[in-house]
Amino acid sequence: MLHLPRSLRLCLFLGIPFIVSPANAEPKLDLALVIAVDVSSSMDPHEQKLQRDGFVEAFRSPLVHKAIQRGALGRIAVTYVEWSSMDDQIIVVPWTVIDGPDSASSFSQKLSFQPTRRGTTTSISAALDFSARLLREIEPETVRQVIDVSGDGTNNDGRPVTDARDQIAASGVTINGLPVMIKDPEAAWDMDILDIYYRDCVIGGMGAFMQPIRDVSQFAALVEIKILREVSGIGDQHSLVMPAGMGVDCRTGEKKEQEDGLPASKKP
């Protein structure tokens, strides 16, 4: 069996011409972006379609194409991941280099052809860990690394989300959030201040920001804006100001899941 150097395997995987260069060679990509989307049972088919269509349309946008080409290197790499429970993460579209309208449209087309699916519980922490492993595959090739995680509920499976967030952010990765808030909370671990939960418990790293979506009619436009900010490297310029007392317990999802498993006599 032929064993190729890791750098060569990566270049072949990404379609980047391989040139023998020093260990401290300049990066080939402005950005490596993992789009990690929630497909847990709380995401109904309508939400899933809106979410998928939003990202498909974002990479068809001429504004996104121009933003990519305006980068110092004019190239980014993107992969699209669906996640649910602690052991459920699937790569829907693998790492794809995008350097203009043709490659961006090709990424969109591949994504649009994939069927949607539905998982079970919600493990944001496992989604972040999985995304971080994907970024380590491409780390030497890129200037910035970003995880774009979207969902409509709190972490209720796997390790505490703040443990994953803090570890990954400390490695230099930026975690941005897209809390989906277009319907009233239904399950025990849902909350009507999901945006605050994402602010306090999920996002992290240099310039991290979150973009809540509260209106179906704004879904596609807000996803496009979020991708534009990530491609352009425009993070939060100011703190998100919320009324006093609006902070959340970052273990709220895990605690409610544990309570659901208790006999009625032992529930708080």
- The pLDDT assigned to 18 comes to 40
- The pLDDT assigned to 42 comes to 87
CATH 3.40.50.410 corresponds to the domain 26-266 = yes
- The pLDDT assigned to 27 comes to 86
Banded pLDDT at 261 (limits 50, 70, 90): low
Model confidence pLDDT, tens digit, residues 64-73: 999 999 999 9
Residue 123 CA to its chain's centroid (Å): 13
Banded pLDDT at 120 (limits 50, 70, 90): very high
Banded pLDDT at 260 (limits 50, 70, 90): low
Model confidence pLDDT, tens digit, residues 148-197: 999 999 999 999 999 999 999 999 999 999 999 998 766 555 678 899 99
Banded pLDDT at 8 (limits 50, 70, 90): very low
Is residue 83 within 8 A of residue 36, CB to CB? The reply is yes
Of the given ranges (29-33, 102-106, 217-221), which has the lowest mean pLDDT? 217-221
Name the average pLDDT for the chain. 84
Tokens of 207: 């310039």
Q: Burial level of 263, CB count in 10 A (0-12/13-18/19+)?
A: exposed
Distance (Å) of CA 225 to CA 68, 145, 219, 262: 13, 18, 10, 43
Model confidence pLDDT, tens digit, residues 199-225: 999 999 999 999 999 999 999 999 999
Residue 132 CA to residue 206 CA, distance in Å, equals 15
User: Whole-model pTM?
Assistant: 0.84
Model confidence pLDDT, tens digit, residues 125-145: 999 999 999 999 988 889 999
- The pLDDT assigned to 264 comes to 37
Distance (Å) of CA 120 to CA 70, 84, 89, 205: 40, 6, 11, 28
* Amino acid letter, residue 260: D
Model confidence pLDDT, tens digit, residues 234-243: 876 543 444 4
Tokens of 83: 């996640």
- The pLDDT assigned to 191 comes to 72
- The pLDDT assigned to 259 comes to 58
- The pLDDT assigned to 86 comes to 96
The half-sphere exposure of 228 on its side-chain side, counting CA atoms within 13 A, is 15
Domain ranges in the chain are: 26-266
